[in-house]
Structure formats: C-alpha cells, structure tokens
Amino acid sequence: MNHPDTASAAVPAPETGLRHVLFPYADEDGFLAGTVSFVEHALGAGETVVVAVSGPREQLLREALADTGSADGVAFLDAGGISSNPGRLIPVWQSWMEKVAQSGRPVRAISENRWTGRTSAESAELRYHEWLLNRAFAESPVWWLLCPFDTGAVADGTLEALEGCHPLLLGQDGPVPAAGYAEVPYAFEALGDPCDPDEELVFSAGALAAVRERVTLCAARHGLPGDRLRDLLVAVTEVAANSIKYAGGGTLRTWAEDGRVICEVRDGGFIADPMAGRIRPTLDQNGGRGLWLVQQMCDLVQIRTSAENGTVIRLTMGTEGA
C-alpha cells in the first residue's frame, strides 16, 4: 500500500492544518498493511508517531512493528483511558499535540475510535467530532491523522457517513479526496424522540433552583447515584444559566432510557461557535467555561443550534457511570 504523502498528486497539500485520512479496512491483514506502512514511512522521515487504538489492535500493531524493528519509535497512547464522550476528545488531541510538538518534528498519528457498543446518539456525536477535528486543527502545523475503520464491525451506512467527516480517504494507491466530505455545513442527525418525558418546565431568571429540583426528582426515580447526580446538576445549571443569560430563559424536559438520565434544555438562542465547550479555557478568559464543564461532567452532550430554530442541548448521564 502506498503511503499517504507519496501518492496521488490530486491530494491538496495545505501549508497548515490536519491531513485527516479515513482508512477503511476489512480484516487484520488490511489493518496492518495500512498502519505499518504509515508508521514506517513516518519514522523513515524522522517524524514523531503516536498511536491510539484499542487493546487488541494495539497488540497486533506492536507485534508487527516489533517484527520490522520499528516499535521503539512509536508512542502508544492509552486509548482505554480516553473518554467515551466525543465532546472531550478534541482537547485530548490538543494536549497530546502540544506535548509531541515540543520535539519540533512533524507528527503522524493513528487513532481508531470504538464504534461498537455505542448508542446511535453516541455514534452520531462521534462522527461530528471527527468532522470538527478538521476545523479544530485548521490553523495548526501540518500533521497527519490516520483513522482506521473496521468495515465489518459496524452497521451499514456508517462508512458513508464517516466519509463525510474526513477530507481524505486512504485507498490502495494512497489518499484521495473523500467524495462525501463536506466542509460546511455539517449535516446533523435529528435528535431522537424522548422516551415518556416528564412535564416540561419553563424557566427564566431566578429559577435555577427549580430546574435543579426537577432534575433531582427525575434522577431519584431512575437511580442516578449521588456523585453522578451532582455532576449532572452542575451541568444542567450551566446550560440553564446560559439559556437565561442569552435567551431570557428556556424549557427543560427530563426522562430516562436504557439506564441513562437525559435532560434537555431548549431556548431561542444560538451558539455561533461550534467549538464552544471543546476548548480548554484559559485562566484569563472572561466566561465561556460553562459548556466546557458540561462536556467534562456528562457522558454525552448533544447540541443542535441554529439562528432560525434556537438551541437544543441534551445531557446524558448513565446510572452506572461512563
């Protein structure tokens, strides 16, 4: 298999930003063919290589690289320690990139997301995360991110959806522009219907305590334990406070499904920055910490916002912990 930057003159070579490559494979041999060649080429060019893949895949790759004498030059990151909430992944990558960039060498990374065992809502947010990566690193020094994807392990249609999130697709002859990739706008999946939600609570200034009370009642009915409830209350408070501040108030709905408590806040405001909540706040910034904390506290955060229809934010917290 040709290496990404040795083939296909059709691939644009930007001065900055992420070269984000989707790498579909059908079996272990295919996985190794693409990843080992990627690593060896990078090491040959004196570049830094970081790998974040699941345990079995990591072992497979480690053994293959050991066979070729390349294992020592590769940093394996603990993929198991990475949050399952896709909304927390960009700052994780930014943190890694800051560390590895200190070497001054170009960076190539391999990251395989876990797609199985996720709810459809979680998978949808993970796809959005993949799409947002392109924007998050648009101004960064050039680096490559190869995203292996096991085509046999996921539902039909997933590969096509992922092509819409990756500008490049790795084939036998190297990377080519992904036909389905759209720079803007992102085509969000519609939010699912709530499962027997509690009565709506319309709130405005001075009602944060009432919002928390409603969430506490729902959480108690569905067995959300103390620490998780407190995390959820902080998150809901942040979202409701934003609704009050930017839209004069909002509407709260709560329900539970499949061992998860879900809180939804709707308002008439619009969140213009798609990176809101996904960038680690600085010490000196004014405000803008609420959505960051929300992403860190919850198992899943779904945001749908437009100037025409306002904003819907759903917060999910599992009763068993993420």
Task: Name the residues that contact another protein, by CB under 8 A.
Answer: 205-206, 208-209, 212, 227, 230-231, 233-234, 237-238, 241, 245, 280-283, 287, 289-290, 292-293, 296-297
Give whichever of 73 and 281 is closer to another protein, judged by the CB atom: 281
Taking the complex as a whole, how short is the minimal distance between the CB of residue 23 and another protein, in angstroms? Answer: 33
Taking the complex as a whole, how short is the minimal distance between the CB of residue 86 and another protein, in angstroms? Answer: 17
Residue 47 structure tokens: 């570049």
Start-to-end CA distance of the chain, whole Å, equals 38
CA angle at residue 137 from 45 to 84, to 5 degrees? 100
Coil, strand or helix at 271: coil
**Alpha-carbon span 175 to 167, nearest angstrom:** 10
Beta strands 107-111; 48-52: pairing state: parallel
Taking the complex as a whole, how short is the minimal distance between the CB of residue 167 and another protein, in angstroms? Answer: 31
Coil, strand or helix at 196: coil
Taking the complex as a whole, how short is the minimal distance between the CB of residue 236 and another protein, in angstroms? Answer: 10
Give DSSP secondary structure letters for 214-251.
HHHHHHHHTT--HHHHHHHHHHHHHHHHHHHHHHS-EE
Q: Half-sphere exposure of 270 toward its Cβ, with a 13 Å CA cutoff?
A: 5
The single-letter code of the amino acid at 259 is G
Give whichever of 69 and 225 is closer to another protein, judged by the CB atom: 225
Give whichever of 81 and 287 is closer to another protein, judged by the CB atom: 287
Give whichever of 205 and 322 is closer to another protein, judged by the CB atom: 205
Taking the complex as a whole, how short is the minimal distance between the CB of residue 298 and another protein, in angstroms? Answer: 12
Give whichever of 113 and 296 is closer to another protein, judged by the CB atom: 296
Give whichever of 56 and 226 is closer to another protein, judged by the CB atom: 226
Rounded alpha-carbon distances, angstroms, from residue 14 to 107, 141, 177, 185: 15, 10, 13, 21
Taking the complex as a whole, how short is the minimal distance between the CB of residue 280 and another protein, in angstroms? Answer: 7
- State the Cα torsion 169-174-175-178 to the nearest 10°: -40
Taking the complex as a whole, how short is the minimal distance between the CB of residue 290 and another protein, in angstroms? Answer: 5
Give whichever of 150 and 267 is closer to another protein, judged by the CB atom: 267
